[in-house]
Amino acid sequence: MTKGQTPPSKPPRTSEHRNTSRSFSAIVLREVLSRWGARLGLAWIAVLVMVAVFAPFIASSHPLLVSENNSTTSPVLRHLTATDVALLAVFFCTLFLLFVRTALHVKFLILLCAGIAASAFSAMVVSPPQLVIYEQYRERQVAGHFDWALFAPIPYSPKDYLRDHGETGLESPLAEKQRTHWFGTEENGADVLSRMIHASRIALGIGFIATGIAMIIGVIIGGLMGYFSGLLDIIGMRLVEIFEAIPTLFLLLTFVAFFGRSLYIMMIIIGVTSWSGYARYIRAEFLRLREQDYVQAAVACGLPLRSVLFRHILPNGVAPILVAASFGVASAILAEATLSFLGLGLVDDPSWGQMLNQAVTSSTFNWWMAAFPGGAIFLTVFAYNLIGEAMRDALDPYLKKSSM
Amino acid sequence: MLLQVKNLKTHLSVSNETVQAVDNISFEIGKGETFCLVGESGSGKSVSALSVIQLLPTGIASHPSGQIVFDYRHDDGTIERVDMLRINEQKRRKIRGSRIAMIFQEPMTSLNPVYTVGDQIIEALQLHNPELSYGEARQRAITTLEQVSIPNPTERIDEYPHRLSGGQRQRVMIAMAMACEPDLLIADEATTALDVTVQAEILRLMRELQQRKGMGILFITHDFGVVANIADRLAVMRAGKIVENGTLNQVLLKPQHPYTQSLLAALPENLKKVHRSSDEPTFRSIDASATRKTSNENLVEITDLRVYFPIKKGVLKHTVGHVKAIDGVDLNIKVGQIVALVGESGCGKTTLGRTLLRLINSTAGCIYYQGQDITRITRKQMQPFRRKMQIIFQDPMSALNPRLTIAATLTEPMAAHGIGDSKDERLALAHDILSQVHLEPDYLWRYPHEFSGGQRQRIGIARALVLNPRFVVCDEITSALDVSVQAEILKLLLSLRRERDLTLLFITHNIGVVEYISDEMAVMYAGRIVERGPTELISARPQQSYTKKLLAAVPRIKI
């Protein structure tokens, strides 16, 4: 074909051609999913995500549906907080995006925008009643006001101390005949299972957000160090060394002492102190990939720096930090649990670590207070480690060869 | 006969998939004889060799049929005929190293970096000769190092491998293999990674040692030049089968099998003859006349170019010295010419090619493109020149971004330079280019890992051509390819050059390719160009001593 000839019609781009070729990430994903450890880990995380998102519908003292004087209302919906609404919105947005065929970074951007919009919207619009009386529904049901009522599977809110049942306190699992507490109650009488379900949000949130912050900082600083090297590299590496010298736990303790206890400060501090590892990984990858022929070819073609960095280098160098991130999520969860266990965590909201703390501070040892939250922490950290391990195996060509 | 391989089959099975890597081959090697196994990559040469020495991983490899009969010489001199497939592992271990030794391809990785050279030889010696004391073994190691012409063996024996050059390391590997005086030496592409001058020395050394010790050599290679130099008999392998087997002259001069004939025809030195003898006017003759018409104008010119890489030390990385990769090079490339840049590894030829395109910044000197100085201009000012100057890389595996489809790889540069108005138009252009490099258009939606090396190299060429450049640097583009693929790529390049009026700087170490493709050649040594002129002139009458040495070392088929 010569130059003068007119270009032929648009090349066929049918689904058949698409299917015959699989991208590198698709292969890695398949490889990861073919491992039992990863499947189990992902299944546990998926269960945890569902539980965290739908927590108010799974464990709540407010009935899901109530029929009173021939009008049906949903007290649960009325008591949803802004956080609940935002979480639900983001969850359904993610679900929707899974079935839409667009580029990954577009999806990410949409999700980020949706998250911000949903939080802002729900913060303005959603206003649950300030004063929550948990026992009102139970009392009215006993008094026969309701035609019928549909309760959540676990009909106790995490902060429902069961005042209507008198002086409640520690109860071992299934001790009381007329109320079922699968995992028992804590010293104030609140249901342990319900508290654990609501605490899963903190565990997941702190893991994802802290690691996300660390990854973003690490990728930016590490990428700049690796690509430009020279003076920037020297300064960057000293910065990394400084941050590696700060013990996260002590910094957290200091911040808690100064600024009080806030989940968000905890997330930020864990994120800000743990980016150095990612920066090192990314720097090494960029240093290696910068010399690769296809990167040189991209430069020789005169592609803009943005494309060279983020299209040609980053996707090829991101593998090791994905592995590191899945271990990082686990360690962030542990850091939060440690703080809460030490009694420096959140005051109001339940968290797994804080429940462990309750287990040891009460006068008697209550096995159910230690076993269930401890088990949850263990399983979650274990799940992330399994996923990390499977990803490392899938991405490491040497390990794959030796397992042949 | 020292070794008789009869109807050997080797199957490799990985997760329920079985590959017949070696399919029913038979050959024999006598004492003092060199037998070559020749073939393209993936033809089963190495697996055959590893089957002989029984080094294949036991879980994967199986031998459904065949015999490998070896004359095992016991320490007392008695000879026992053993079948390597049927003796126990203990006996095999005794034979390996002491009676059958092997040299591998990669000299950089086959020595253990944490032990000295001497330790590694002495360990092998003492293992197979337990009666030797350390002093005696060391003395013998020094003798063998001397035999393989390592200078100053009494001192070098205590060196670590990283202090030796690639050629010296390969010589140490040979010394290790020789130390136990084996009856059979297997050399698996033992000289492929080495420069031609070093290769010539190693081959000479092996022949010498063979004559002295009377051992048989099983030499595996893809290079017919080497075969012509060393072999007594050879076998040509293809897809696990031996397609032709005979003495050197039989096979090289009167090849019977069409595959052997096509392999020999694909050699660069034979390509030229086909072109010249054909009746129709060839590309070269057209090109030659075209070149003469336009040869006055310099497309690219460099003057006194220097590229120094600083050696940095300490916390603050202060510079303690320089590696002079390019040390004062003047070169001008005329419009329409193909200039070949020849040299051994480490002479700075790749650095020169990349510096021309401003992928590496120069320390001193000037680069002109059509008279415009592009040595110090900014990234933005460089942009129009990026479109005119392109590069094709050596390793087709690493030259394409594994995460992008071919369509993305080809259309992104067009978008960056504003070629084509819409995505569809750019896709149509990419589609065009793919057919120009003889690839199927639906390959656009595939990823690089789905292609063979030759196909990837074509895609690399396509990427260089999408911007419609005038000047292309070809950096060892055929050295990772098999000869038949190399011939196709070279022909393709010549036809593209004619269609698109390209000027090429062809960087290579393969003299055969240079003589086939280039109008002019420049010989580079230690960062300098030592000789330059028309290719025919230099290859026939080299003036400089280095050029003479280089050309003399090239293994050629003497016909």
Of A21, A297, A315, the CB nearest to B446: A21
**How far from chain centre, in Å, is Cα B268?**
14
Residue B125 β-bridge partners:
none
Return the CATH number of A32-54+197-404, one of 3.40.50.2000, 1.10.3720.10, 1.10.10.10, 1.10.150.530: 1.10.3720.10
pLDDT tops 80 at residue A2: no
In percent, the amount of chain A with pLDDT more than 70 equals 92
Residue B279 has a pLDDT of: 38
Asked whether the beta carbons of residue A304 and residue B394 sit closer than 8 angstroms, the reply is: no
Q: Is residue B534 classed as helix, strand or coil in its secondary structure? A: strand
Q: Across the interface, do B444 and A11 touch by the CB < 8 Å criterion?
A: yes
Q: Are strands B389-392 and B241-247 parallel, antiparallel or unpaired?
A: unpaired
Q: Inform me whether the pLDDT recorded for A95 exceeds 60.
A: yes
**Number of Cβ pairs closer than 8 Å across A and B?**
110
- Output the six-digit token pair for B547: 């050029």
Inform me whether the pLDDT recorded for A64 exceeds 60: yes
pLDDT score recorded for residue A4: 39
With an 8 Å Cβ cutoff, are B427 and A11 in contact? Answer: yes
Q: Report chain A's terminal Cα–Cα distance, integer Å.
A: 45
A296 within 8 A of B355, measured Cβ to Cβ: no
Q: Could you give the 3-state DSSP secondary structure of residue B222? A: coil
Check pLDDT > 60 for residue A281: yes
From B316, B389, B428, residue closest to A10, measured CB to CB: B428
Segment holding B24, helix H or strand E: strand B17-29
Look at A316 and B463 and tell me if their CB atoms are within 8 Å.
no
Query: Residue holding tokens 């996707």?
Result: A315
Residues B5-38 as b or e (16 or more Cβ within 10 Å = b) = beebbbbbeeeeeebebbbebebbbeeebbbbbb
Shortest distance, CA B402 to any CA of chain A (angstroms): 7
Q: A12-36, pLDDT tens digit by residue?
A: 444 344 444 567 777 778 888 888 8
How much is the mean pLDDT over chain B?
A: 86
Nearest beta carbon to residue B463 from set A11, A25, A297: A297
Angle formed by the axes of helices A263-273 and A192-228, nearest 10°? 30
**Least Cα separation, residue A355 to chain B (angstroms):** 46
More confident of the two residues A379 and A250: A379
Token pair for A362? 């009460």
Task: Please tell me the least confidently modeled range out of A39-43, A48-52, B485-489.
Answer: B485-489
Cβ(B473)–Cβ(B390) below 8 Å? yes
The pLDDT of residue B282:
43
pLDDT, residue A398, reads: 53
CA distance B104 to chain A (A): 20
Residue, of A178 and B188, whose pLDDT is higher:
B188
Compare CB distances from B432 to A7, A17, A23 and report the shortest one's residue.
A7
Closest alpha carbon within chain B to A314: B403
Which residues of chain A make contact with B317, given a CB cutoff of 8 A? 234
Express each pLDDT in A346-375 by its tens digit. Answer: 777 888 888 888 888 877 778 888 899 999
How far is residue B101's CA from residue B182's CA, in Å, rounded to a whole number? 6
A310: nearest CA partner in chain B? B403
Contacts of A359 (CB under 8 A, 6+ apart): A365, A366, A369, A370, A373
Distance separating alpha carbons of residues B159 and A135, to the nearest angstrom: 84
Q: How far apart are CA B259 and CA A358, in angstroms?
A: 80
Contact A300 B60 (CB under 8 A): no
Q: How far is A350 from chain B (nearest CA, A)?
A: 44
Q: What is the pLDDT of residue B284?
A: 46
Cβ contact B402–A25 (<8 Å): no
A10/chain B closest Cα distance in angstroms: 5
Residue of B nearest to A303 (CA): B416
Residues of A in contact with B420 (CB under 8 A): none
Q: Considering only alpha carbons, which residue of chain B is nearest residue A238? A: B315
pLDDT in tens, A82-94: 888 998 999 999 9
Q: How far is CA B361 from CA A305, A306, B157, B351, B379, in A?
A: 17, 21, 40, 10, 12
- SS3 sequence, B382-401? HHHHHHHEEEECCCCCCCCC
Buried b (16+ CB within 10 A) or exposed e, A112-133: eebbeebbeebeeeeeeeeeee
SS3 string, B31-61, reads CCCEEEEECCCCCCHHHHHHHHHCCCCCCCE
List CB contacts (< 8 A) between B394 and chain A.
Answer: 293
> Measured between beta carbons, which residues in chain B are less than 8 angstroms from residue A296?
354, 359, 391, 393
> Do A11 and B435 lie within an 8 Å CB cutoff?
no
The residue of chain A nearest to residue B395, with distances taken between CA atoms, is: A293
- Taking the C-alpha atoms of residue B39 and residue B221, their distance in angstroms, rounded to an integer, is 7
CB pair distance less than 8 Å for A7 and B395: no
Nearest residue of A to residue B498 by CA position? A2
Does residue A170 carry a pLDDT above 80?
no
The list of chain B residues with pLDDT below 50 reads 274-293
The verdict on a CB contact (< 8 Å) between A294 and B354 is no
Tell me the three-class secondary structure of A275-319, residue by residue. Answer: HHHHHHHHHHHHHHHHCCHHHHHHHHCCCCHHHHHHHHHHHHHCH
The verdict on a CB contact (< 8 Å) between B449 and A24 is yes
All residues of chain A having their beta carbon less than 8 Å from the beta carbon of residue B401 are 294, 298, 311-312, 316
ipTM of the predicted structure?
0.78
pTM for the model stands at 0.78
At B498-528, the pLDDT tens digits run 888 899 999 988 888 888 888 899 999 988 9
Residue B13's pLDDT is: 85
Contacts of A298 in chain B (CB under 8 A): 401, 412
